[in-house]
Amino acid sequence: MNIARVSSLLLSVLIAVPAAAAISREDLKKALDANPDLVLSALKKADKMKFFELIVEAQQDYQKNKAKEEARREEEERDKAFKNPLKAEIGANARTRGNASAPITIVEYSDFQCPYCSQGFKNLEQLRKMHGDSLRVVFKNMPLSFHPMAMPAAQWFEALALQSPEKAWTFHDTLFENQNKLGEEYFKSLTKDLGLDVAKAAKDAKSESVAAKIEADVIEAKKFGIEGTPAYLINGVPLRGAYPVEAFEQIIAKIQAAK
């Protein structure tokens, strides 16, 4: 087996994409099992820099193709949703902001510790200023497991909403503006500053009703195939990721044109 073939086989494994038709992972395993010194020998004879440049180039090509495919899939999903919008549950205990009869509703699935969600918060604030009473925002919790303070933050947000939905929104805004401060003492301090009952909030944050509310939000997100944050439904049309304001505007314009 020559150096070029070994290099090709290695590339196929290292970038985790299928190799050429004549190459398989089984081929590689058999070759290395039979000749464990083959790779070292090949590298000694080959131009190592060129070899690793090939690996980097292959990785970059793979990522570009993957991004294009993901963008194409999301575009197809949005096109379908314009005709058959995804329907989020917006009940009496939904955390809403804005005119209840607004023609545009953005449902947001977010994580208080996610840096991309912080940018998403800023984008939504800009959109609220631009559209005024024509836009309603619905916040839904999706605390990710690898953000240790995301769940406690969501619990305190929901606990404060039981006392004052309006002040809970102030709490929400402050958390996204100060993600580096997230923690139990900070939550208590903000609650006190807002003039709310800290002891009640701490108790409610651990309650079954708050846990059920957050769980319902997460279950709904997963039902729509949402795995990361932030993610949005704009009148039922999905937009996944920290897209700029222009991306929201394009969807809103299309919705308005359809009406």
Domain co-membership, 72 together with 200:
no
Q: Which residues pair with 137 in a beta bridge?
A: 97, 106
In a domain, 199, yes or no: yes
Task: Tell me what the pLDDT averaged over the chain comes to.
Answer: 86
DSSP H/E element including 203: helix 198-205
Q: Does pLDDT of 45 surpass 70?
A: no
Please report the pLDDT score of residue 10 as a whole number: 54
In which band, very low, low, confident or very high, does the pLDDT at 61 lie, cut at 50, 70 and 90? confident
- Closest by CA position to 158, among listed 145, 147, 172, 148: 172
In a domain, 180, yes or no: yes
The CA-atom distances, in angstroms, between 212 and each of 13, 94, 99, 163, 217 are: 43, 13, 26, 17, 9
Residue 134: give its domain's CATH number. 3.40.30.10
Give Dmax (Cα) for the chain.
75
Domain boundary among 40, 63, 83: 83
Q: Lowest-confidence range among 1-5, 182-186, 201-205? A: 1-5
Domain co-membership, 65 together with 100:
no
In a domain, 89, yes or no: no
Domain co-membership, 43 together with 158:
no
In which band, very low, low, confident or very high, does the pLDDT at 131 lie, cut at 50, 70 and 90? very high
Rg (CA), the chain: 25
Domain co-membership, 47 together with 108:
no
Residue spans of beta strands (DSSP E) within 15-161: 95-98, 104-110, 135-141
pTM of the complete model = 0.74
Domain boundary among 19, 52, 83: 83
Span 234-252, average pLDDT: 95
Q: Which residues pair with 16 in a beta bridge?
A: none
Span 5-19, average pLDDT: 49
Q: At which residue do the structure tokens 């925002």 appear?
A: 137
Domain co-membership, 77 together with 100:
no
Span 199-222, average pLDDT: 98
Q: Lowest-confidence range among 29-33, 184-188, 194-198, 203-207? A: 29-33
Domain boundary among 83, 115, 130: 83
Please report the pLDDT score of residue 20 as a whole number: 45
* Residue 241: half-sphere exposure toward Cβ, Cα within 13 Å: 7
* pLDDT one-digit tens code per residue, 64-105: 776 666 666 777 777 787 889 999 999 999 999 999 999 999
- Domains held by the chain: number: 2
Span 148-159, average pLDDT: 98
Domain co-membership, 137 together with 71:
no
Domain co-membership, 254 together with 159:
yes
In a domain, 88, yes or no: no
DSSP H/E element including 109: strand 104-110
Domain co-membership, 78 together with 117:
no
Domain co-membership, 70 together with 167:
no
Domain co-membership, 117 together with 208:
yes
Domain co-membership, 29 together with 73:
yes
Domain that holds residue 7: 3-83
In which band, very low, low, confident or very high, does the pLDDT at 171 lie, cut at 50, 70 and 90? very high
256, two tokens: 């308005």
Amino acid at 101: S
Please report the pLDDT score of residue 129 as a whole number: 97
